[in-house]
């Protein structure tokens, strides 16, 4: 029993607008509606005498088709171009040349008016002269397209010229029946599920919505209801089995691929939308007509990129398994969609549009290459590129070699997955902008070899951020899983890491330095659960901050030309510093292991801090006479098995290791525990090597033992444990 819903197309439109309001307001147009609005073929035109072909390219004859190239007669011009395109296609031309001039595209009579746009045809290059302008007529409609490619369109190239919207003269006071008055869907180019499209060298500007909106369409749908279902699951071999909490389809009439739409490989896909009475994910099983099992697509998600299943070529029907304990009240929409496949946008100038430069909606295998995308501002999201497909998939997107300039948002990935962002320049974005963000619902972004110039980046997981350069910019990694950060170079740049799950963020090979502007600061901030950072270089006017975590591991951190820095808790292994004062004063544990310090001072300044400095070396030049380690406040400090080679040319010098503040002998102690053991201290003049005399009232016995001091002395409290220390001249 086939349960076709006659109002399904209308339902999808309504759902699309609901999705618009809740997400990016991406309009959905059903195929049936689009087909009803298409301009009918002009058979009388086809009977006209054929024009001799010139290299299989047809040059638009203005007078023959009633087309004006002086920016007038919009209705006649639009109708004439559409008729000429259809005729050229029927005559076998594969290129359609539009000569120099301004071609006014009519405003039409309503939103979605198919006669108010150029409807491109299959197997055709739409070639615009460099001085040709396709100008949208001033109008007050919330939704319009200037060039349109429907779901049946294949193998199209749009090349050259200018597409210009009516942004500057648009009437924003009108409001559509199913829209909210934002006027954000007036597009230069709209795709509704075509395949094999190239847009090359086109200037696209001043549209009320997007320069290019890449979208899809619904082409077939049926409801699966409780009458089509039974209790039980299906095993990995495609065989029905009893299984608690599972229900499966049992009606061939709602699960076959007999509909004519499936004869086109472009439409051989399956999704499940708008579930009622089920939960979680679902599993699809494909079969041949002789009931032999082909394959399983498991853990599919409803209304999602990750619920888009390609139907095998030899599949004749499917079965679906839902998560439910009963079939009662279950209702799921089985959908087949047209998405834009195999599309390339390259060498274009896309600027001054209100909503988006490019919206990547329903799509697979989109390439956006070597474009300039700029000055996007007017109505949210205001992004150079926005990947936000709504109910549809958006997978396998390549964004490479582009320049993003002065957009409120340079780029946002909201939904979808598997994008590569490579060799792009971002910057600067507008002062009121938010840069480039990858949201939690987006899965699998690779961001490699880009330059971020005064443009900030943020991701919530599932991102590889590799070999990128940051200039006066920040990159924030707000948790999640499968985040790899490697080979990052920054100038006046911040990196922020918030670990939310074990091993979720992995960081290595980061180098941050400062410009000559001393007021600008950068650095690294760490928060959340334990994280591991490796091969980090921080220099100049940068800092290492954040709440930190006592279990954090920092391997091979290098500090260069630092004047003063507060470190976060954690274990620092094989670190090095050249100059600077380093404050260890956050609550928690610090371990400095196998580190090298030159002309540096480490000091503690918190009674909740627990510090261990071990197997490290301290050296200084003669011009430096301060302490190497100074404990002002600490819960406990341990200095174990280190080597101090300290030289000075000053007459007055501080102790090499000092426990307690200067002149604090009669103050209440703020050093609650200390152990200085198995260290070697060497100086060029006679000076104090270890000083605990200022430990203060109530100070416990500090353990000072098995240290070797060359040309240095001990200055200890009377209750300290002074054991097996050796003082040599």
Is residue 556 within 8 A of residue 574, CB to CB? The reply is yes
Task: Please say if the pLDDT value at position 22 is more than 80.
Answer: no
The beta-strand segments (E) located in 339-408 are 340-346, 349-351, 356-360, 363-369, 372-374, 383-387, 394-400, 403-405
List the single range of 460-474, 578-592, 618-632, 693-707 with lowest mean pLDDT. 618-632
Strands 522-528 and 494-499 turn out to be parallel
Is residue 67 within 8 A of residue 45, CB to CB? The reply is no
- More reliable by pLDDT, 685 or 635: 635
CA trace torsion 602, 605, 610, 615 (10° rounding): 10
Q: Which residues contact 200 (CB under 8 A, 6 or more apart)?
A: 157, 158, 159, 160, 344, 345, 346, 347, 348
Q: What is d(CA 296, CA 621) in angstroms, rounded to the nearest whole number?
A: 70
What is the side-by-side strand order in the sheet with 279-287?
A: 229-231, 246-249, 317-323, 279-287, 293-300
Q: Given this model, what pLDDT does residue 178 score?
A: 81
Is residue 194 within 8 A of residue 154, CB to CB? The reply is yes
Q: Which residues contact 16 (CB under 8 A, 6 or more apart)?
A: 26, 27, 28, 29, 390, 391
Q: What is d(CA 34, CA 548) in angstroms, rounded to the nearest whole number?
A: 56
For 167-176, the pLDDT digits (tens) are 999 999 999 8
Q: Given this model, what pLDDT does residue 652 score?
A: 65
Count the neighbouring beta carbons within 10 Å of the beta carbon of residue 352.
Answer: 21
* pTM (predicted TM-score): 0.89
For 212-255, the pLDDT digits (tens) are 999 999 999 999 999 999 999 999 999 999 999 999 999 999 99
The pair of structure tokens assigned to 376 is 């996007």
User: Which whole number is the average pLDDT over 447-472?
Assistant: 97
Is residue 159 within 8 A of residue 190, CB to CB? The reply is no
* C-alpha Rg value of the chain to the nearest Å: 34
In degrees and rounded to multiples of 5, residue 32 shows phi and psi of -60, -40
List the single range of 432-436, 519-523, 552-556, 621-625 with lowest mean pLDDT. 621-625
Is residue 538 within 8 A of residue 521, CB to CB? The reply is no
Q: Given this model, what pLDDT does residue 192 score?
A: 98
The SS3 call for residue 20 is: helix
Write down the mean pLDDT value for the chain: 91
């Amino acid at each position: 029993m086939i349960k076709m819903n006659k109002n399904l197309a209308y339902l999808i439109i309504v759902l699309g607008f609901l999705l618009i309001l809740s997400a990016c307001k991406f309009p959905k147009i059903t195929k049936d509606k689009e087909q009803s609005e298409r301009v009918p073929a002009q058979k009388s035109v086809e009977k006209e005498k054929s024009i001799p072909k010139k290299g299989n390219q047809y040059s638009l004859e203005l007078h023959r088709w009633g087309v004006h190239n002086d920016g007038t007669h919009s209705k006649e011009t639009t109708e004439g171009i559409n008729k000429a395109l259809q005729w050229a296609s029927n005559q076998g031309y594969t290129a359609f040349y539009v000569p120099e001039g301004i071609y006014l595209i009519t405003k039409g009579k309503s939103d979605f008016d198919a006669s108010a746009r150029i409807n491109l045809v299959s197997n055709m290059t739409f070639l615009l002269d460099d001085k040709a302008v396709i100008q949208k007529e001033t109008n007050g409609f919330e939704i319009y397209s200037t060039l349109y490619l429907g779901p049946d369109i294949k193998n199209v190239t749009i090349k050259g010229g200018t597409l210009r919207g009516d942004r500057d003269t648009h009437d924003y006071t009108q409001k559509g029946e199913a829209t909210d008055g934002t006027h954000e869907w007036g597009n230069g180019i709209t795709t509704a599920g075509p395949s094999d499209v190239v847009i090359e060298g086109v200037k696209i500007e001043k549209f009320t919505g997007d320069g290019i909106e890449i979208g899809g369409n619904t082409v077939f749908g049926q409801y699966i209801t409780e009458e089509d279902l039974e209790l039980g699951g299906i095993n990995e071999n495609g065989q029905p089995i009893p299984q608690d909490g599972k229900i499966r389809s049992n009606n061939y009439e709602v699960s076959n691929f007999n509909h004519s739409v499936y004869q086109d490989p472009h439409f051989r896909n399956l999704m499940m939308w708008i579930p009622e009475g089920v939960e979680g994910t679902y599993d699809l099983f494909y079969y041949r007509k002789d009931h032999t099992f082909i394959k399983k697509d498991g853990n599919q998600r409803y209304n999602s990129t990750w619920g888009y299943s390609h139907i095998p070529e030899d599949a004749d029907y499917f079965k679906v398994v839902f998560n439910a304990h009963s079939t009662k009240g279950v209702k799921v929409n089985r959908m087949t969609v047209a998405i834009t496949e195999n599309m390339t946008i390259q060498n274009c100038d896309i600027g001054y549009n209100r909503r988006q430069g490019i919206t990547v909606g329903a799509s697979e295998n989109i390439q956006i290459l070597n474009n300039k995308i700029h000055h996007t501002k007017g109505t949210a999201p205001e992004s150079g590129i926005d990947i936000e497909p709504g109910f549809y998939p958006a997978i396998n997107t390549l964004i490479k070699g582009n320049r993003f300039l002065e957009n409120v948002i340079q780029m946002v990935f909201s939904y979808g997955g598997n994008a590569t962002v490579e060799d792009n320049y971002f910057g600067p974005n507008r002062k009121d902008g938010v840069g480039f963000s990858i949201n939690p619902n987006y899965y699998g972004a690779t961001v490699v070899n880009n330059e971020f110039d005064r443009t900030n980046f943020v991701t919530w997981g599932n991102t590889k951020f590799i070999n990128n350069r940051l200039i006066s910019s920040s990159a924030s990694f707000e948790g999640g899983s499968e985040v790899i950060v490697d080979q990052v170079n920054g100038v006046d740049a911040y990196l922020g890491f918030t670990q939310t799950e074990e091993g979720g963020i992995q960081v290595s090979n980061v180098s941050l330095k400062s410009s000559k502007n001393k007021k600008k600061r950068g650095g690294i901030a760490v928060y959340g659960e334990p994280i591991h950072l490796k091969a980090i270089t921080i220099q100049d006017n940068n800092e290492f901050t954040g709440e930190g975590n006592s279990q954090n591991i920092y391997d091979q951190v290098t500090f260069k030309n630092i004047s003063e820095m507060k470190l976060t808790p954690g274990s620092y292994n094989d670190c090095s510093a050249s100059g600077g004062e380093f404050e260890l004063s956050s609550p928690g544990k610090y371990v400095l292991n196998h580190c090298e310090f030159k002309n540096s001072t480490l000091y503690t300044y918190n009674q909740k801090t627990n510090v261990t400095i071990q197997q490290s070396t301290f050296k200084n030049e003669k011009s430096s006479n301060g302490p190497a380690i100074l404990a002002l406040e600490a819960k406990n400090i341990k200095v174990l098995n280190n080597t101090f080679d300290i030289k000075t040319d000053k007459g007055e010098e501080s102790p090499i290791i000092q426990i307690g503040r200067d002149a604090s002998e009669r103050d209440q102690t703020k050093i609650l525990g200390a152990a200085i053991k198995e260290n070697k201290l060497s100086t060029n003049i006679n000076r104090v090597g270890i000083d605990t005399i200022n430990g203060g009232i109530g100070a416990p016995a500090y353990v000072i033992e098995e240290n070797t001091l060359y040309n240095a002395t001990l200055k200890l409290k009377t209750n300290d444990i002074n054991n097996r220390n050796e003082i040599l001249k």
